[in-house]
Amino acid sequence: MASRRALHFVFKVGNRFQTTHFFRDVLGMKVLRHEEFEEGCKAACNGPYDGKWSKTMVGFGTEDDHFVAELTYNYGIGDYKLGNDFLGITLASSQAVNNARKLQWPLSEVAEGVFEIEAPGGYKFYLQNHILPQSDPVLKVTLAVSDLQKSLNYWSNLLGMKIYEQDEEKQRALLGYAENQCKLELQGIKGLVDHATAFGRIAFSCPQKELPDLEDLMRRENQKILMPLVSLDTPGKATVQVVILADPDGHEICFVGDEAFRELSKIDPEGNKLLDDAMAADKSDEWFAKRNKVKASG
């Protein structure tokens, strides 16, 4: 499975201003591309919403060789309820630690040289206060699972991930497609995994010709397929094919054809400006957030 790549994690964001500030100014990521859509994604990339939405890809480098974040903003949705499904992203960046201190963003040292920080919306990040020689500072994504062995069978035996570490006592395992890629950490919890409304999605690429075989495998194994093979269009950019799966705990997984995705994911030099213009034009961001809180409390 050396031809498969870990690509990104999808976050639903309720406040684009604060979220952009966190990823750009605190973590130090760059805006790689920004795209606006008039209606909901056929593969529910923006969640179960039919209206206007935007996608902003942010990361420490190109999507060809970095694991990045996809910030999904649904116009009119001011916040999302967190579950216990997403446990954090770990990255190595002394610069991010320095940025947080300088900007007075709350930091909590949870282990020697490791700081916990929260993005707007409550998403946790763990910052290791050093720099690694490897090109991508993003080390791992941690997801909660209710049955570690069942999850390992799914991710390793069915999806072909290599198990790099496994600790039965601590109920955790570290998996990945390659040594130099961001890893997936599975952490066992007591009880069920609750995705609430803030649930995300983790994305991987594979050669496009493997997508039908992957879908067939999941059918044979009676695994959940959220969206069979479908083509997704992005205005003015490449069309990609995807299959959307769900693991035994309901974590959403996107597999996309690698060839077309490399075309789609090229850095857009106008990405920063497009995002800033969209936020400037959308004067209703704060208004929608306040309105939804009033509706929720009422």
The pLDDT tens digits for 113-146 are 999 999 999 999 999 998 776 689 999 999 999 9
| pTM of the complete model | 0.93
Interatomic CA distance for residues 93 and 177, integer angstroms: 23
Interatomic CA distance for residues 200 and 292, integer angstroms: 21
Given pLDDT bands bounded at 50, 70 and 90, which one contains residue 23?
Answer: very high
Given pLDDT bands bounded at 50, 70 and 90, which one contains residue 8?
Answer: very high
Lowest mean pLDDT among 44-48, 61-65, 83-87, 286-290: 286-290
Q: Which two tokens stand for residue 297?
A: 């409390």
Asked whether residue 283 carries a pLDDT value surpassing 70, the answer given is no
Q: Where are the domains of the chain?
A: 5-283
Share of the chain above pLDDT 90, in %: 89
Q: What is the DSSP string of the chain?
A: -TT-EEEEEEEEES-HHHHHHIIIIIS--EEEEEEEESS--TT-TT-S--S-EEEEEEESS-TTTS-EEEEEEETT-------SSEEEEEEE-HHHHHHHHHTT---EEEETTEEEEE-TTS-EEEEESS--SSS--EEEEEEEES-HHHHHIIIIIIT--EEEEEETTTTEEEEESSTTS-EEEEEE-SS----TTT--EEEEEE-GGGHHHHHHHHHHTT-EEEEEEEEE--TTS--EEEEEEE-TT--EEEEEEHHHHHHHTS--TTHHHHHHHHHHH-THHHHHHHHHHHHHH-
- When pLDDT is averaged across residues 231-249 and rounded to a whole number, the result is 93
- pLDDT greater at residue 297 or residue 106: 106
CA dist list (Å): 109 to 112, 129, 141, 159, 272: 7, 10, 19, 35, 32
Q: Which residues contact 47 (CB under 8 A, 6 or more apart)?
A: 12, 72, 74, 197, 199
Nearest to 168 by CA among 147, 144, 139, 183: 147
Asked whether residue 263 carries a pLDDT value surpassing 70, the answer given is yes
Given pLDDT bands bounded at 50, 70 and 90, which one contains residue 292?
Answer: very low
Torsion over CA: 278, 282, 286, 292 (sign): negative
Structure-token match 């983790």, residue found = 202
Given pLDDT bands bounded at 50, 70 and 90, which one contains residue 293?
Answer: very low
Asked whether residue 39 carries a pLDDT value surpassing 50, the answer given is yes
Asked whether residue 28 carries a pLDDT value surpassing 90, the answer given is yes
Structure-token match 């649904």, residue found = 74
Q: Is the separation of the CB atoms in 272 and 31 below 8 Å?
A: yes
Q: Has domain 5-283 been given CATH number 3.30.559.10?
A: no
Predicted confidence at residue 295, as pLDDT, reads 40
Torsion over CA: 224, 228, 229, 233 (sign): negative
pLDDT tens per residue across span 66-98: 999 999 999 999 999 999 999 999 999 999 999
